[in-house]
């Protein structure tokens, strides 16, 4: 599955990327932020699970390290060069040690070690992929049915949340988040295995999924706080938070599947094909765009103003998304 690109999956990745950018741009306390944070990071894991293919453990670890840990390392080194030069010349070894600890812990340790920012996702996804791959090998040997696999992955996620969310022990490499991510990977894997995207769902399935998602959002809407924070290891009501994030992921993936079908067969096909190609391009470039986004935090996006729209969170979100895409296009043009 990983070797075959699916247009609607790329559309879903594009949607996930836009959700991340907008979630990082809309301020705390806005009405939009709880909606985005109800699904956006689990959505990435679910999509990754849909395209996941079991591999030999060494091959999986090597390929995932190249795709995820190497970019994380390079970005961390590049971002740390100014501090390294200053601290090395001044002999401030304490700061150098703290920098190394931050690199290892990735998402902080819930005490004094700071988070590395949005790049935490790369390392957590690496851990999730390796652990989930190992679980699939175990499932294959034991011939476990899909529901039993889900229970096992839920137990792994529960262990991760117990360690990081309940006990407050934030592990190196954001491993506790990675364990939680295993369950979302399995959800995507189960959607593919069950043929849920291709199957015509009964309206009641869509309505129930929508109802669960709305219920999850509503838990955080009164105070306008997020129901799901994978980085913060915080969930307002864990069962509903997980169910809502999975329901939202299913609905958005289903929508992308339907949209691709409609645009591919619609009258005036050339125009719709261009729209579809633009969306799938963003999806294909999702990881590179995410890396660019990790670097754009140094700009004051809240100060951006667009004619007719003014300076709003929506303006800033549109400008930030456009900026990231233009930077990608510039890199591709130069390369």
78-92 per-position pLDDT tens digit: 777 766 666 555 556
The residue whose two tokens read 């705390």 is 28
What residue ranges in 181-318 does DSSP mark as E strands? 228-229, 234-235
Considering the entire predicted model, what is its pTM?
A: 0.91
* DSSP bridge partners of 229: 234
* Mean of pLDDT over the chain: 86
Q: With left for phi above 0 and alpha for psi between -120 and 50, is residue 137 left, alpha or beta? A: alpha
Domain ranges of the chain: 7-334
Question: Mind listing the pLDDT tens digit for each residue in 262-301?
Answer: 777 766 667 777 778 888 899 999 999 999 998 887 777 7
């Amino acid at each position: 599955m990983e070797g075959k690109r699916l247009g609607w999956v790329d559309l879903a990745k594009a949607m996930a990327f836009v959700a991340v950018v907008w979630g990082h741009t809309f301020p705390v306390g806005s009405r939009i932020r709880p909606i985005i944070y109800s699904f956006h990071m689990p959505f990435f894991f679910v999509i990754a699970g849909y395209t996941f293919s079991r591999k030999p453990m060494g091959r999986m670890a090597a390929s995932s390290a190249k795709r995820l840990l190497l970019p994380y390392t390079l970005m961390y080194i590049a971002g740390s060069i100014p501090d390294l030069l200053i601290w090395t010349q001044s002999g401030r070894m304490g700061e150098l040690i703290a920098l190394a600890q931050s690199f290892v812990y990735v998402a902080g340790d819930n005490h004094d070690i700071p988070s590395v920012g949005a790049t935490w996702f790369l390392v957590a996804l690496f851990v999730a992929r390796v652990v989930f791959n190992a679980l699939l090998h175990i499932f294959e040997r034991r011939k476990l049915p899909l529901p039993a696999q889900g229970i096992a992955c839920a137990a792994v996620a529960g262990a991760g949340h117990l360690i990081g969310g309940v006990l407050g022990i934030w592990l190196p490499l954001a491993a506790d988040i990675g364990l939680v991510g295993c369950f979302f990977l399995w959800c995507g894997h189960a959607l593919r295995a069950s043929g849920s995207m291709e199957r015509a769902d009964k309206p009641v399935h869509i309505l129930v999924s929508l109802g669960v998602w709305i219920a999850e959002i509503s838990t955080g809407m009164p105070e306008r706080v997020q129901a799901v924070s994978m980085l913060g290891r915080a969930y307002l009501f864990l069962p509903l938070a997980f169910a809502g994030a999975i329901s939202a992921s299913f609905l958005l993936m289903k929508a992308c599947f339907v949209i691709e079908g409609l645009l591919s067969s619609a009258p005036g096909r050339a125009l719709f094909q261009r729209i579809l190609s633009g969306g799938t391009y963003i999806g294909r470039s999702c990881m590179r765009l995410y890396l660019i986004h990790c670097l754009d935090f140094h700009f004051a996006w809240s100060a951006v103003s667009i004619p007719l729209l003014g300076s709003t969170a929506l303006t800033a979100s549109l400008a930030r998304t456009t900026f990231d895409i233009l930077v990608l296009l510039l890199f591709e043009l130069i390369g």
